[in-house]
Chains A and B, each alone.
Chain A
Amino acid sequence: MANTFTKIASTTVGSGGASSVTFSSIPGTYTDLCLKYSIRNTSTNPTVIALINGSSSNFLRTYMVGSGSSVNSAVNDASNYIGYGSVSTDTTNTFANDELYISNYTGSAFKPFMADNVNENNATTAYAYLAGNLWSSTSAITSIDISMYGGNLAQYSTLTLYGIKNS
């Protein structure tokens, strides 16, 4: 029986961290993509940043995020910020868990994707984040780059890209 939820590539960040992780040459043979990652910033900014096909343009997001004490939200924010990771001041050994689900990534329409993030760390502030996103391009997605604002992805951050086939 065909395996339809398949690992395309996986990366674990080594000693010293990494400024970003790029999944390139993504094959066009799947229906959807799912990127799961566990990440932490070496600096204090929790913002996760994506580039698609090397571009930071044509992104929209509608999101809501809870910090434990407040809720913030925005609609059609033209930003390639895609969520909240853990930061250097969070409890040691905690890494945010994040997921992107990208539908019909090779199609000729614009590309919708959803982002779900959590970074619980048994402290005063942690984030739960849900977003609906759009990359307004008709190009097939062939690369995804993930980084964090103002720092590096910390050692032991892991990122895995899966391809999903519907037949």
Chain B
Amino acid sequence: MASTYTPIATATIASDGQGWDFTSIPSTYTDLRLVIYGRGTYASTTFGGYGRLNNDSGTNYSYTRLFSDGTAQSQRNNNTDTFQVGELPSANATTNIFGQSVIDILNYSNTTTYKTLLVRTSTPGYTFTYVNLWRSTAAINRITFGTAGLNNMKTGSVATLYGIKAA
């Protein structure tokens, strides 16, 4: 059977405070999926998860989100300098609690269109769905992700980048 869902790289946070940096992402897949199992180290119960593509720190991202913290609500933000996935558990959360986020990046290697990211995130006390846009026509070859400062992940957090082929 042909494999159409292939792990490109997996990285486990080895010491508190690190983030993830997937570089040299091959362009041979159709879509990418980044699966996060994570918890932050920032001193709060939860903290937002953020990422950048190709190390672009310009205000080239925007998002619309639908989420609930007990009240269903929707928000959007333009011209942000990161893509966002919503809250992940952090240092003040109950021990043993990690959150999960699944980020689908469609048609990531094309050099004609801007890139869309679909996100689902589950953290105790929250549920999120996002659509993010990165206004660049560059092929995505690098993804950086973390919480406060794009790092600050807890030891034992794991991120896996999968490549998905349409054929």
Partner-B contacts on A (CB < 8 A): 1-5, 31-32, 60, 62-64, 66, 71-76, 101, 103-104, 108-110, 112-114, 116, 130-134, 136, 138, 164-167
Q: Is B127 an interface residue (CB 8 A)?
A: yes
> Within 8 Å of chain A (Cβ to Cβ): is B90?
no
Q: Check B68 against A62 for contact (C-beta < 8 Å).
A: yes
Contacting A60 at CB < 8 Å: which of B4, B10, B37, B124? Answer: B124
Residue pair B162, A132 in contact (C-beta under 8 Å): no
Query: What is the bound-complex CA distance between A72 and B72, given in angstroms?
Result: 7
In the A-B complex, list the 9 residue pairs whose CB atoms are closest, starting with the nearest. A75-B70, A132-B122, A132-B127, A114-B122, A64-B72, A5-B5, A166-B160, A64-B68, A73-B72
Residue contacts A-B, CB under 8 angstroms, 12 given: A2-B6, A3-B3, A71-B72, A101-B102, A103-B35, A103-B98, A108-B96, A112-B97, A112-B100, A114-B102, A164-B5, A166-B10
Interface majority SS on B: helix, strand, loop or mixed?
A: strand
Cβ A4 vs Cβ B6 within 8 A: yes
A63–B10 contact, CB under 8 A?
no
Among A3, A31, A73, A75, point to the contact of B160 (Cβ < 8 A). Answer: A31
Interface residues of B in 36-71 (CB under 8 A from A): 37, 66-71
B residues near A114, Cβ cutoff 8 Å: 100, 102, 120-122, 127
- The answer to whether A130 touches B127 (Cβ under 8 A) is yes
A133 neighbours in B (Cβ, 8 Å): 122
Instruction: Compute the total of residue contacts between A and B using a CB distance below 8 Å.
Output: 116
B1-56 CB contacts (< 8 Å) to partner A: 1-7, 10, 35, 37
- Measured in the bound complex, the distance between the Cα atoms of B89 and A112 in whole Å is 11
Instruction: Tell whether, in the assembled complex, residue B72 and residue A112 are in contact, meaning their CB atoms are under 8 Å apart.
Output: no
Give bound CA distance, A119 to B5, whole Å.
27
| Max chain B Cβ within 10 angstroms of own Cβ: one of A5, A60, A74, A113 | A5
Tell me if B126 and A62 are in contact (CB < 8 A). Answer: yes
Report if B125 contacts A (CB, 8 A). yes
Interface bits B125-137 vs A (CB < 8 Å: 1, else 0): 1111100000000
* Contact assessment for B35 and A32 in the assembled complex, using a CB-CB cutoff below 8 Å: yes
Residue of A71, A76, A113 near B122 (CB, 8 A) is A113
**The residue from A72, A113, A167 contacting B100, defined by CB atoms under 8 A apart:** A113
A75–B87 alpha-carbon span in the complex (Å): 14
